[in-house]
Amino acid sequence: MIVDAQLIHATPEVNTSPAQKFSSRYTLEILNVINSLVGEKGAAALLRAAGLLEKLPPKLTHRHENTIPYVYLANLFRSLDFIYGPRGARSIAYQIGKQSFEPAFGSFDIVANTRAKQEKLFSTAEKLEIALCTLAEISAQSSDQHIVLADHTDHFRFTVGNCPICSVPMNVDLPICYFNVGYLRGGLQSILGLNDFPIQETECMAKGDPACVFTIRKKRFTINEIGNGLTGFLALPEHLREE
């Protein structure tokens, strides 16, 4: 696991090894959220569609040990699309990412320390910076992802190499990592108490890009944006979508 805590321009290492693993405890919390969103029967149907009904439960523990194969996560989220269709899958995946952060990581010392640090800062951009650094470190600790965080004039780029959602080859034209967008939103809510930074996935390994890239604007949604309905979970002004 690797994380670049410094805000630098870099390209994350990408390793497509089948040995890549994800946190068991985090996976357990993901399943708990799925159960709350779609019910026990719905959760069982997802696991069955992903071929995990018998495979996954025996591997789950309450410890943050990286023992769950990436392919399990990729197939689980792919089964959302199969059962609920593209639109339903997007919303459910986003909510899974958002709602699973607090029960999985809210008690971490690094989260508590970052909460305390951000309260002493006056700049929203500085608060956002240290929160994203913490989310990058947690991502690296709870999986084999390689995270690079880069500071731009009016936004941050959160680049994910070895994304578990994209670990199974796919033929898509648009980004698919709605879970990761939810993770970022849930993490910022947990650490900063704020959930109104525009976030957009601009590049995705599933559609052939070298890494998954998420752009987080430093300026929170304006009153006009909120009034005009521009606060969807993938909303971001067009000029931030170009690098």
Whichever domain contains 114, its CATH number is 3.90.1520.10
Q: Which two tokens stand for residue 19?
A: 């040995």
- Vertex 48, ends 47 and 54: CA angle to 5°? 80
Q: What is the pLDDT of residues 25-74, one digit of tens each?
A: 999 999 999 999 999 999 999 999 999 999 988 889 999 999 999 999 99
Which pLDDT tens digit goes with each residue over 135-148? 999 999 999 999 99
Measured distance CA(114)–CA(146) in Å, rounded = 21
Q: How many independent structural domains does the chain possess?
A: 1
Percent over 90 (pLDDT), the chain? 71
Q: Are 194 and 243 in contact (CB under 8 A)?
A: no
CA dihedral 63, 6, 234, 23 (to 10 degrees): -10
pTM for the predicted model, two decimal places = 0.87
Q: Name the phi and psi angles at 62, rounded to 5.
A: -90, 10
pLDDT digits (tens, 9 = 90+) for 192-221: 998 889 999 999 999 999 999 999 999 888
CA count, 13 A, side-chain hemisphere, 62: 1
Domain of 149?
2-241
Nearest in space to 201 (alpha carbons), one of 223, 227, 179, 230: 179
- Per-residue CA distances from 169 to 60, 75, 166 (Å): 25, 11, 7
